[in-house]
Amino acid sequence: MHTHIFIRHGESDYNNVRPDLTEQGFRQAQQAAQDVAAIVGTKPVRIVSSPLARALDTAEVIAEHLGLTYSDIVRHNAIRCMDFYDLGAMEKLWRAYGSAKAVERAYTSDELFERGTICEKRSGVRARMYQYLAQLFEEADRDAALRTHVHVSHYELLSSLVEDFGFDDTLNNCELIVAKIADPSISGGMISLTFRGVKHVYQLQTPTNADDIHAV
């Protein structure tokens, strides 16, 4: 069984210059670190992070709590936030919504996020998340040594997991999604996701999109 803990970064100033977390963001990261430690225990762990500053800040807090260092963090570009094509237009859109929470609520429904003119298409971000998830399944099939992983990413990517795996909630900063992937050679591709204490179990082969997810 492989355990993958997905975490949204802490509250941020969104400057992409370290440190990029607010004081509240660092407190959130410290709480997340404690939550991760309670799951991981003494098992060896790999920490993977988006290369953006707010994710790396969060990952570093978690790493230090687990006895690791900043240099131990693996950066993975696939779990970065959505790409921005027109930063000025995006900033104008952010101001129009008025708050980060309002942007998050709009992300799943506003067609602006699917046009691909000012930012990466919502469907493209989701596809990127599934490509990353497929890679984790492939690693679970061949890597028996390291079975516990922490992934620090962004709302756009992780909200697709919350939505596609049947959870009807938004994802707050530094909340954990705990995925357990059984050995595919034994289970045929079983994955369980736990979010806010609720667990859903699914059957799937190497996932490429939401259509590959089948509730058990």
Portion of the chain with pLDDT greater than 90, in percent = 59
Residue 160: enclosing H or E segment and its boundaries? helix 155-164
Looking at residue 147, what is its pLDDT? 83
- State pTM to two decimals: 0.90
Q: Are 156 and 128 in contact (CB under 8 A)?
A: no
Sole residue written with tokens 């690791």? 68
**Confidence band of 37 (pLDDT split at 50, 70, 90):** very high
Cα–Cα nearest to 137, from 202, 56, 216, 200 = 202
Cα–Cα nearest to 7, from 42, 45, 47, 66 = 47
Query: Torsions phi, psi of 193, nearest 5?
Result: -120, 130
Min mean pLDDT across 55-59, 78-82, 170-174, 205-209 is at 205-209
Tens-digit pLDDT profile for residues 62-92 = 999 999 999 999 999 999 999 999 989 988 9
Query: Torsions phi, psi of 153, nearest 5?
Result: -140, -145
